[in-house]
Each structure stands twice: as C-alpha cells, then as structure tokens.
Amino acid sequence: MPLDASSFIGNLSFFAGFSAASGKTMAMKAALACIRGVGARAAILCAGHEGERPGSGAGGTSVEVWEGEIFSTAASFAGRLDCAPEIVAGELGTSALGPIVLVRAGRRGSGILVGPSESAALAAVADEAMRAQYPHHTVLVDGALDRLSPISALPNAQLFCTVRIDRANLMHMSQRMADLHRRSHLPLWTDEQLRRGAHIILDGPLSRMVLEKYAVQEHAAFVVKDFAHIFLRPEELALLAAQNKLFVQKEIDFHGFIVALCDVGQEECGARLPPEVFASILSWNPYEDEKHEHGLP
C-alpha cells in the first residue's frame, strides 16, 4: 500500500521507530515524495542528528531537497551545501554540531538534516517551519530513535511509527506494536473521572518506581500528561489499562504503523497482531518503489 499525500499535507508529522534501521528516515523520504508528487512542498526537520556524511565523519542525515523546500541544518553546514541555501530563521537551539538554522533551498541539490535534541527547541524550529512553508504548512520530522518525548512538545503533531520485521524479531515487534497501540488509545482525563474517586496527577513520567511509591493507594488512578510520559513494561501498562487506572491529559494523534517486511509475509505478520493493531498499518514496504526514495521526475 503506498502512502497518501493527503495524510501529510497541512500537518506536522513525526516519524519514530522502535530500533536502529527501522526505516523512519526512509518513511519520511517516502512521505516527502508523495507530497512532491502532487505539486506541494514540505519543510523537513530532524530531532537531533545521526548518520554520517560520506568522507567527513560529521553527523547529519543526507536528503535531496527541491527548490523552495525548507529544512533544518547546522549553521556551519549552510554555506557548504550545493542547493544554494538561504537562511530563513536562526539560531534555533543548538546541537553537538553547533547552532541550528532553517534554510530554504534555492535549487535542487543535497541537504544535511540536523536539529536540536531539546524538545522545546525542536518545537520552536517546527513553529518557524510551519510559518515559513507557505502555503502548504506541511512539516515532516525525522524523529528521535525509540524516544517519543519530543512529540510532547509539538502541538497537533501526528505520529507515524516505522517498524522493520523479519522472522527473528516477529514476536518481539508484534508485542511492541500492540503496546504502542494500547498507549495511544488510553482514555482522556475529564472532569467526570475527577468526581469518581481517588486519582494521582503526575507532573513527570510514570515509571515502575512511581508505581511502587504509590502502591498503598491501590485504588487510585494515574493521570499523565500524555502516553510519551509512560515508562512501564507492557504487562504493567496492560494491567493498569485493564483496570481503568490510567488516563492521559492530552491525546497524541497516533496515525499508524509503516511496516517493512523481510522474509515474512503480511498474512503471517497479521496473524501475530490483534485485529485493531493490524488495521492500523498504513503501508507495507512503501520504499520499494524508487520514486519514493528519490522523488518523482
């Protein structure tokens, strides 16, 4: 199933993965190709930096940019890229590679994605990008590996989770997908729940240590900011959810999974997943088509 440009245009989309080589950068590039394919443009951001520039050893994620597209990079890179970049905003936070700036590509060429690791700074970069990427206001964020905390700071962001599944990790990844789906569907805390009984509203994350601290209040419900603030094992989360003891103050829009399969078929993968999790898979192997990786002519 190919990705659909309508899922991304006009939205702030955050791509995250469970593990290294999960395909989040490729999924972001596939989404970018879909957007270009309908004549639109996007701003391309990164949470922190990763990867290597060939021959340089400097961090950053390589991406082809088209004329008019905006992307985040290190200020020290801006003058050395072949896409004729023009700085449109900066300095917007910092990274191990120096201050972060937003640039607009003057022509088609190579870009190096670098972004701030701090969630608040990433939110500032995204806010500037939404304003600068007129008229589509479309932003794609290559998110932090196995770390969802940055999405808490991004207003109205939609989350896409990339998963790479092979026969060796099929069971493990199936469990992780089910766990994330459960987290993303926790009930919202309302005034009605407030009147029902004891509750514990947490300013910080919910961890096993916090559970042990409040063990004496066994009938109390826990209220967290959002599911990115939950650091529990799947079985701990499942128990609280089954007992209706876990709520979120803010919902994160989990849009679905993008799955790459290796030596495993869709039917075999689907047999390991609850029906609602299987139904939330948006695309299988969307990067197999070269046009998704390199952009439409």
Burial label, 132 (beta-carbon count in 10 A; 0-12, 13-18, 19+):
middle
**Is 105 part of a structural domain of the chain?**
yes
**Is 98 part of a structural domain of the chain?**
yes
The size of the chain, in residues, is 297
**Is 176 part of a structural domain of the chain?**
no
Q: How many domains does the chain fold into?
A: 2
Residues 76 and 221 occupy one common structural domain: no
**Is 271 part of a structural domain of the chain?**
no
**Is 288 part of a structural domain of the chain?**
yes
**Is 270 part of a structural domain of the chain?**
no
Residues 207 and 114 occupy one common structural domain: no
Q: Domain range spanning residue 159?
A: 5-165+253-264+281-294
Residues 153 and 196 occupy one common structural domain: no
Residues 99 and 227 occupy one common structural domain: no
Residues 200 and 56 occupy one common structural domain: no
Residues 107 and 13 occupy one common structural domain: yes
**Is 57 part of a structural domain of the chain?**
yes
What residues does 70 pair with on adjacent strands? 43, 104
Q: Are 159 and 128 in contact (CB under 8 A)?
A: no
Residues 154 and 32 occupy one common structural domain: yes
Residues 194 and 100 occupy one common structural domain: no
Residues 45 and 93 occupy one common structural domain: yes
Each of the 297 residues of the chain gets a pLDDT tens digit; together they read: 678 999 999 999 999 998 878 888 889 999 999 999 999 999 999 887 654 344 344 567 889 999 999 999 999 998 889 999 999 988 888 888 889 999 999 999 999 999 987 888 999 999 999 988 878 789 999 987 667 778 888 888 999 999 999 999 999 999 999 999 999 999 999 877 766 778 899 999 999 999 999 987 888 899 999 999 999 999 999 999 999 899 999 999 999 999 999 999 999 999 999 999 999 999 998 765 444 444 444
Residues 122 and 220 occupy one common structural domain: no
**Is 275 part of a structural domain of the chain?**
no
Residues 135 and 210 occupy one common structural domain: no
Cα–Cα distance measured from residue 80 to residue 99, given in angstroms and rounded to the nearest whole number: 15
